[in-house]
A and B are shown apart, each in its own frame.
Chain A
Amino acid sequence: MTLPSSIPATELDVPTTLDGEVPVAIRGRSTWQLAWARLRKDRAAIISAVIILLVVLMAIFAPVIAALTGHGVDHQYRTTGLTTSGLPRGPSGTFLLGTDDLGRDVLVRIAYGARISLFVGVVATLATVAIGAVLGMMAGYFSGAVDSVIARLVDLVLSFPFLLFAISLVSVTHPSLTVVIIVISVFGWAAVARIVRGQVLSIREKEYIEAARSLGASPWRIMFIDVLPNVVTQLVVYATLLIPITVVLEATLSFLGVGVPPPTADWGQMISESSTIYQQAWWFLVFPSLALLITTVSFNVLGDGVRDALDPRLNRQ
């Protein structure tokens, strides 16, 4: 048999068996198989996926990059890495992407910075989507008082300026990775909850939900077993588009000094440190910026591709 993605169009039709031939088996394809078949034809999305894979590899093998260059991530090369007047050194054979204001290797720090960006990007996105999905399902399924309470919470979150909330929290505690993830997910869930709630409102009235209810299933069982699978596509699309936003938010928080505290290598923080010295050391501004920009552009292109692949109606009107 041929692979699902290469079945000719004619085989998809119901085979006619006038002369009693054995009919050709029709193979069902799941949403995901169909989406994948569409996605792999999207050249921009595939290229972005490859770039993202490279960034992931760079993050995983950051210690290897450090070992190859022979430069530790936090080590300050005050004699070799700084000029006699104490300025960063430009790209050279020893420091491929130059050094920063403290004489540290920019390349190695970019590689380690990828770890923070991707970690926060994925973890905070998952937390956001999980909180949003549960609260959205509750609001849609229970309606009434539960819905009103969640609706006011959504209003509260959406009217509390995100960056100022981060600034408030950090001003009474201390900046940390945990605070970054909490701030991002506390602010992201509202949008997810709105989408899920809308979906659940219509799903709730379907016959199979009524069937489950008449069999005595509990509300929670219905929500997670019967409703959730029907909103999963939307959640996947939303999560893919949320990752680049999360990566930018993390970098922004670190840029403002309320994100990941030094000396942890982080792209936003590197760019922030470079902002006072870029006139003497362009590489310190340009390379971390490029790393961040390439990552977010790739995630956005891939996200658009995933959306088009999972929701083809949008493209074919």
Chain B
Amino acid sequence: MARFLVRRILQGILVMLLVTLLVFGIFFLGGNANTVATRLAGRNATPQTIALVAKRLHLNQSVPLQYWDFLEQLVWHHNLGYSYFHEQPVGSVLKQAAPITLSLALGAAVIWLILGVLSGVLSAVKRGRIIDRAITTLALFFYSFPTFVLGLMLLFLVSYQLQKRGIRIFPGQGYVYFSASPTKWFESLVLPWITLALVSAATYTRLTRGSLLEVMGEDYIRTARAKGLSERRVVFRHGLRSALTPVASQFGIDVGVLVGGAVVTEQVFGMPGLGYTAVQSINNGDLPVIIGIVIVASAAVIVANILVDLVYAVLDPRVRLH
């Protein structure tokens, strides 16, 4: 188990190195020191700032040395760089945005996991009946829904229509901090949660249904039934346990991706989380922030992947042998 864990962590570090190499390639190559420095310093940078950036990042050195420097700052000093647009370290910009993304992503994840798995189980158990058809049709419908279309439709059909009738339950856009008002915080998150959860739940419904149907055809399920167990016990104890493996791996990856920024949902609902900040940074020409978010987001995905593998290995000893 320890060896398995060590190998997975080493693999994760290797992939993270490749990520930094790619980021470095995108942002630091393709131009001389001056153009790169101008790019990183932002649109309104003075020549002094540009010179300062070039000096700080050692842009006059050879490329391998520059990359080494970039890595050293990142790993040794936990320094994600400096945003010349915000006039503060990238780390503090991200610290302000992260809680917003986290409350959005984690809240939605809980909703879609429950919704997706339960509807998937129901659909598989009632296979071929009208309820199965209804669930599969709905799942296909929401699966086809682009997130931003669903979000805007909810804003238009729920928030705006209610507001027109004088009911202001869901604010249209924006985010309220939990510390400012817990109830307002909750209200500002309801529609974004629903948007993210409905689109994702559809994938989980399809995944759970397919996987459970496959498992229920196995011999050991017949054995469990032959023992005289109740159908509920057979489905939830015996069937679902192995049917949930692909669901768990999908869940890990999805949450990992979202923690790095629920880009579209944040953009639709004007919530200044990591994804929204990244999109704004294009318009602001604030590249250091984009670099920081990409690195944090990739790290989140890599950690999520390792956690998923770890959960697998605990649940299924065969995994450790590979």
- List residues of chain A with CB under 8 Å of any chain B CB: 152, 155-156, 158-165, 167-172, 244, 248, 251-252, 255-258, 268, 271-272, 274-275, 278-279, 282, 285-286, 289, 292-293, 296-297, 299-301, 304, 317
CB proximity to A under 8 Å, residues B128-170: 140-141, 143-149, 152-153, 155-156, 160
Q: Whose C-beta in chain A lies nearest to the C-beta of B18?
A: A156
**Residues of B close to A248: CB separation below 8 A:** 144, 146
For the complex, give the distance between the alpha carbons of A170 and B285 in Å. Answer: 11
B50 within 8 A of A: no
B98 at the A interface (CB under 8 A): no
Residues of A within 8 A of B319 (CB): none
In B264-322, the 8 Å CB interface with A consists of: 264, 267-268, 275, 278-279, 281-283, 285, 287, 290-291, 293-294, 297-298, 301-302, 305
Considering the complex, give the chain B residue whose CB is closest to the CB of A151: B11
Q: Is B228 an interface residue (CB 8 A)?
A: no
From known contacts A164-B261, A255-B264, A304-B140, infer whether A159 and B148 are also in contact, taking CB-CB under 8 Å: no
Residues of chain B whose beta carbon lies under 8 Å from any beta carbon of chain A: 11, 14-15, 18-19, 22-23, 26-27, 30, 39, 140-141, 143-149, 152-153, 155-156, 160, 213-214, 217, 253, 256-257, 260-261, 263-264, 267-268, 275, 278-279, 281-283, 285, 287, 290-291, 293-294, 297-298, 301-302, 305
Tell me the complex Cα distance, A161–B257, Å: 6
Majority secondary structure, B binding face: helix
Question: Across the two chains, which residue of chain B brings its CB closest to A169?
Answer: B26
CB distance from A281 to the nearest CB of B (A): 11
User: Are A282 and B260 interface neighbours, CB within 8 A?
Assistant: no
Within the assembled complex, what's the spacing in Å between the Cα atoms of A289 and B268? 14
Contact B279 A256 (CB under 8 A): yes
Taken together as a complex, chains A and B put the C-alpha atoms of A244 and B285 apart, in Å, by: 32
- In the bound assembly, the distance between CA atoms of A301 and B27 in angstroms comes to 41
Q: How far is the CA of A288 from the CA of B128 in the complex (A)?
A: 34
- A271 near B152 (CB under 8 angstroms)? yes
Number of A-B contacts (CB under 8 A): 137
User: CA of A256 to CA of B146 in the docked complex: distance in angstroms?
Assistant: 13
For A167, list chain B residues within 8 Å (CB): 263, 278-279, 281-282, 290
**Known interface pairs A297-B140, A297-B141; A172-B26 also in contact (CB < 8 Å):** yes
Please, how many angstroms separate the alpha-carbon atoms of A87 and B311 in the complex? 55
Question: In the complex, which residues of chain A have a beta carbon less than 8 angstroms from the beta carbon of B293?
Answer: 164
Chain A residue contacts of B268, Cβ below 8 A: 275
A163, B275: Cβ atoms closer than 8 Å? yes
Q: Judge whether A161 and B264 touch: CB under 8 Å.
A: no
Please state if A172 and B287 are interface contacts (CB–CB under 8 Å). yes
A164 touching B301 in the complex, CB below 8 Å, given contacts A292-B149, A297-B141, A300-B144: no
CB < 8 Å neighbour of B148 from A244, A252, A317: A252
Given contacts A156-B18, A256-B263, A301-B140, A317 and B213 within 8 Å (CB-CB): yes
Partner of A296, one of B11, B146, B263: B146
> Please, which residue of chain A has its CB at the minimum distance from the CB of B199?
A248
Question: How close is A230's CB to chain B, nearest CB, in angstroms?
Answer: 23
Task: For A170, give the chain B residue with the smallest CB separation.
Answer: B282
Given the known A-B contacts A252-B147, A300-B140, are A289 and B152 also in contact in the complex, defined by CB atoms under 8 Å? yes
Q: Which of B14, B155, B253 makes the CB contact (< 8 A) with A152?
A: B14
Complex Cα distance, B217 from A77, in Å, reads 63
Closest residue of chain B to A294 (Cβ to Cβ) is B144
What separation, in Å, do the CA atoms of A165 and B298 have in the docked complex? 10
Partner of B298, one of A159, A256, A296, A317: A159
Interchain nearest-CB distance for A165 vs B (Å):
7
Interface centre among B23, B160, B263, B264 (most CB of A within 10 A): B263
A293: chain B residues within 8 A (beta carbon): 144-146, 149
Q: Are B19 and A159 in contact (CB under 8 A)?
A: yes
Most buried by B among A170, A248, A257: A248
Cα–Cα, bound, A287→B140 (Å): 21
Q: How far is the CB of B61 from chain A (nearest CB, A)?
A: 20
- Distance in angstroms between the alpha carbons of A156 and B17 in the assembled complex: 9
> In the bound complex, what is the Cα–Cα distance between A259 and B152 (angstroms)?
19
**5 closest Cβ contacts across the A-B interface?**
A296-B144, A159-B301, A297-B144, A161-B297, A163-B263
Residues of B within 8 A of A268 (CB): 146, 148
The CA of A285 and the CA of B275, in the complex, are separated in Å by: 23
